Amino acid sequence: MKSIKQMSTLKKKAGFTLIELLVVIAIIGILASVVLASLNSARKKSRDARRVSDIKEVQLALELYFDKNTTYPAGAFDAAIALVKTDGFLPTVPDDPLGTGAANVYRYCQLTSGTSYHLGANLEENNTSILSGDRDLPTGTCSGGDTIEGVDADGCADEASRYCYDVTP
């Protein structure tokens, strides 16, 4: 039979010390925060890609509406796009991936008595490859509908930390 001294020595060598456990937990915490930060950036880029896709889909539907009616619809985004949907050019009205709220809506206005329009969405990331290809139309050009500030850094309605992606025909 083993002595008590030998058994207590074996017990001490079998486990981890409190310091070792705390170091491992700290390392896991740091790695988890790095992964979560990367995922957050990827989610923002994914939502921005969906916004650009939605705007292009609405833009195509507006062009089809114009071909049929020789004018673009009047009103803000919801009213104008409802007309486009009623005519069968848009199967569903797209919503911003983050839902509702001033910074999370698509914006639309009719320009020059229905012969043009201005359409915009707020992006979360300052993606220069996407924003360099948009219109950047200044404020005050709308004859009806939502007000859109087309400058990239302002957001479409002067929202902080948003970037306006805007298009015209």
User: Is residue 59 in a domain?
Assistant: yes
Which segment of 38-47, 78-87, 150-159 scores lowest on mean pLDDT?
150-159
Whether the per-residue pLDDT at 66 is higher than 90: the answer is: yes
Kindly state whether residue 4 falls inside one of the protein's structural domains: no
Top-confidence residue, 143 or 99: 99
Distance between CA 132 and CA 150 in Å, rounded?
12
Does the pLDDT of residue 17 top 80, yes or no?
yes
- Indicate whether 50 belongs to any domain: yes
Q: How many domains does the chain have?
A: 1
- Position 142 in a domain: yes
Task: Decide the pairing of beta strands 144-145 and 107-111.
Answer: antiparallel
| Angle CA 28–31–34, to nearest 5 | 150
Q: Would 133 be classed as within a structural domain?
A: yes
In the prediction, which pLDDT does 58 show? 94
Residue 8 lies in a domain: no
Query: Residue 42: left if φ>0, alpha if ψ -120 to 50, beta else—which one?
Result: alpha
pLDDT tens for residues 104-144? Answer: 788 898 887 788 888 988 888 887 688 888 887 776 667 76
Give the pLDDT mean for 56-67: 95
58 Cβ contact partners less than 8 Å away, ≥ 6 residues apart:
81, 84, 90, 94, 106, 108, 119
Residues 116-152 as b/e (b if ≥16 CB within 10 A, e otherwise) read: bbbbbbbbbeebeebbeebbebeeeebebbbebbbbb
Predicted model pTM: 0.76
Question: Residue 121: left if φ>0, alpha if ψ -120 to 50, beta else—which one?
Answer: beta
- pLDDT value, residue 127: 77
pLDDT of residue 141: 67
Q: 145 lies in which domain range?
A: 44-167
Q: Is residue 28 part of a domain?
A: no
